[in-house]
């Protein structure tokens, strides 16, 4: 995989489970379906599409160190705080974290659901992604309040946000996906026909590497198709977790 991100072995990844360094919201042990948001997005932005008995987890602020490893450390604590196995779903960066977590702690994972996941090198220019975000905000596809929170998080830690964004663009988890397939980890990958960031080619390749069930949603909206289509998003999560 790319040298931009060093993926820890299981012993290294498990260190974060011994000492909490983050504030955690009260945990409902009955909710073993967890969702991880995409890069820069707040967990609350996905709340309209969360099925009952699902919890959207809010990652910590952008770290100055290797962001994916810090987030994986945090996610290990979240998993350790819950009994039994969990179904872990994620969008974009959240999908990459699902893949990494399933490799680090397979005994804690029942199933992973990857929605337009990071994990294969991306080619869409950054300026086009930025232009897309601005257009979506201007057309009110994203709420102004949630957009403001996302921009504030980037503004508070711009160096960490940039470092993480660059790492995600070059991230290659092909080897990890093959390992999950060999380990028999149940997985579903969901792509979108209009996604020009994590394209259908990316999502189909991820599904093939994982040996996963695959669904491709034929809707407009691109990488953020679920915003404004929350009922469809909710149905897809429920179906994938069944």
Q: What is the pTM of this model?
A: 0.83
pLDDT (0 to 100) of residue 66: 75
Q: Is residue 173 part of a domain?
A: yes
Residue 189: which H helix or E strand, with range?
Answer: strand 187-192
Q: Is residue 7 part of a domain?
A: no
| Model confidence at 141: pLDDT above 70 | no
pLDDT (0 to 100) of residue 121: 97
pLDDT (0 to 100) of residue 17: 42
Q: Is residue 4 part of a domain?
A: no
- Over residues 95-125, the pLDDT tens digits come to 999 999 999 999 999 999 999 999 999 998 7
pLDDT (0 to 100) of residue 193: 98
pLDDT (0 to 100) of residue 67: 79
Q: Is residue 47 part of a domain?
A: yes
pLDDT tier at 152, thresholds 50, 70, 90: low
Q: Is residue 121 part of a domain?
A: yes
pLDDT (0 to 100) of residue 159: 73
- What does the angle CA 130 – CA 124 – CA 165 come to, to the nearest 5 degrees? 60
Q: How many domains, the chain?
A: 1
pLDDT (0 to 100) of residue 60: 85
Q: Is residue 142 part of a domain?
A: yes
| Model confidence at 6: pLDDT above 80 | no
| Model confidence at 14: pLDDT above 50 | no
**Chain centre distance of CA 160:** 17
CATH code, 103? 3.40.50.1820
Q: Is residue 141 part of a domain?
A: yes
| Model confidence at 21: pLDDT above 80 | no
Instruction: Give which of 28, 42, 128 is closest to 93, Cα–Cα.
Output: 42
Q: Is residue 36 part of a domain?
A: yes
pLDDT (0 to 100) of residue 229: 94
Q: What are the helix and strand counts (H, E) for the chain?
A: 9, 6
Task: For residue 209, give its domain range.
Answer: 27-241
| Model confidence at 217: pLDDT above 70 | yes
Residue 211: which H helix or E strand, with range?
Answer: none
Most confident of 10-24, 58-72, 161-175: 161-175
DSSP state of 87: E
Instruction: Give which of 100, 110, 115 is closest to 179, Cα–Cα.
Output: 100
For residue 240, with 0-12 CB atoms within 10 Å meaning exposed, 13-18 middle and 19 or more buried, which class applies? buried
pLDDT (0 to 100) of residue 195: 96
Residues in a beta bridge with 190: 115, 215
For residue 223, with 0-12 CB atoms within 10 Å meaning exposed, 13-18 middle and 19 or more buried, which class applies? buried
């Amino acid at each position: 995989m790319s040298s931009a991100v060093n993926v820890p072995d299981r012993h290294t990844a498990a260190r974060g489970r011994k000492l909490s360094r983050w504030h955690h919201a009260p945990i409902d042990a009955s909710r073993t379906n967890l969702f991880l948001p995409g890069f820069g997005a707040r967990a609350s932005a996905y709340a309209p599409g969360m099925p009952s008995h699902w919890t959207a987890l809010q990652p910590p602020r952008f770290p100055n160190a290797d962001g994916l490893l810090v987030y994986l450390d945090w996610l290990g604590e979240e998993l350790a705080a819950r009994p039994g196995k969990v179904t872990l779903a994620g969008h974009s960066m959240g999908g990459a974290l699902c893949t990494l977590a399933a490799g680090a702690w397979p005994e804690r994972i029942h199933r992973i659901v990857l929605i337009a996941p990071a994990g294969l090198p991306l080619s869409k220019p950054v300026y086009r992604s930025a232009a897309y975000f601005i257009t979506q905000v201007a057309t009110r596809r994203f709420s102004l309040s949630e957009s403001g929170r996302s921009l504030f998080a980037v503004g508070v830690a711009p160096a960490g946000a940039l470092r993480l964004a660059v790492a995600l663009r070059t991230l290659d988890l092909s080897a990890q996906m093959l390992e999950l397939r060999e380990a028999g980890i149940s997985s579903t990958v969901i792509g979108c026909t209009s996604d020009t960031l994590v394209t259908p080619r990316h999502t189909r390749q991820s599904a093939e590497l994982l040996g996963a069930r695959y669904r491709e949603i034929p809707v407009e909206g691109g990488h953020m198709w679920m915003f404004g289509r929350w009922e469809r998003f909710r149905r897809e999560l429920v179906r994938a977790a069944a």
